[in-house]
Amino acid sequence: MKKHNLVLVPGLMCDHSAWDPMLEGLRNVACCQIIDHGQARSLVVMAQQLLALAPPRFALAGHSMGGRVALEVMRLAPERVSHLALMDTGYLPKAPGAAGDAEVAKRMALMDIAQRDGVRAMAMQWVQGMVAPHRLADAALVERVVAMMERKSAEVFAHQIKALIERPDGTDVLRQLRVPSLVLCGALDSWSNPAQHEEIAQWIPARPAVVSVADAGHMVTMERPEPVVQAFKDWLSMP
């Protein structure tokens, strides 16, 4: 199999740890580069930063907020991307009216905890919905997720929350996709469920199948990396 340049885009308050469990399994098929969003305050700026660091042509996988960044990369420079994977993510802008207000209120409540009590305290609360319910008893996994978030500051959290609240509508990007695409999520993801990914796939002209990873929640790459690696191998083998 051809070895791809593969750019991996982490989600909100995530870093290389979200992808580390997959790297050994991908070693023979991809040269992986993991992006850091730094102090960026918008998804577009995150995409611009990625493009400045990425190879001239590359495969692209985005998890959670990283999936939204990947859509902005496709909006800015689709000719540079050979394959696209969207994972545990969404594509719609903030909803109007009460639904959007409720989303903002929930995000601001977490922001308040991070600023008042520290990022670790926020992460300890947030992780309750980030992994499959039965994995909350896995202290090592929970600590990996919490420690990853704790490496980011409350200021970075504020910047990334702003980017998500102001997110663009990705529908037009999905409609124009012409590259081999993977749509994947944890079957028990309570943040972005399989039905949401079926909707994403329906907008893509090639109608890719949705890979739903059993016994995994939102942090699917950390919870069950092996089936995700296999899905990546199948995806990257697509011409």
Mean pLDDT of 33-52: 98
Query: Tell me, what's the pLDDT at 199?
Result: 98
Mean pLDDT of 37-58: 98
Mean pLDDT of 223-237: 98
Pairing of strands 58-63, 4-9: parallel
C-beta separation of 51 from 73 below 8 A: yes
Chain centre distance of CA 101: 23
Q: Which residues pair with 59 in a beta bridge?
A: 6, 83
Burial 71-109 (b: 16+ CB within 10 A, else e): bbbbbeeeebbbbbbbbbbbbeeeeeeeeeeeeeeebee
Mean pLDDT of 32-37: 98
Mean pLDDT of 136-152: 98
Task: Answer whether residue 19 shows pLDDT above 80.
Answer: yes
Give the integer Cα–Cα distance in Å for 152 and 129.
19
Query: Tell me, what's the pLDDT at 18?
Result: 98
Share of the chain above pLDDT 90, in %: 99
pLDDT in tens, 167-221: 999 999 999 999 999 999 999 999 999 999 999 999 999 999 999 999 999 999 9
Calculate the alpha carbon distances from 68 to 26, 128, 137, 173, 183 in Å.
23, 23, 30, 10, 13
pLDDT in tens, 89-112: 999 999 999 999 999 999 999 999
Q: Which stretch of 2-6, 25-29, 60-64, 179-183 has the lowest confidence by average pLDDT?
A: 2-6
**What integer best gives the mean pLDDT of the chain?**
97
Which residue segments constitute the domains of the chain, with CATH numbers given? 4-94+168-236 (3.40.50.1820), 97-162 (no CATH)
Give the integer Cα–Cα distance in Å for 155 and 175.
35
Q: Which residues pair with 66 in a beta bridge?
A: none
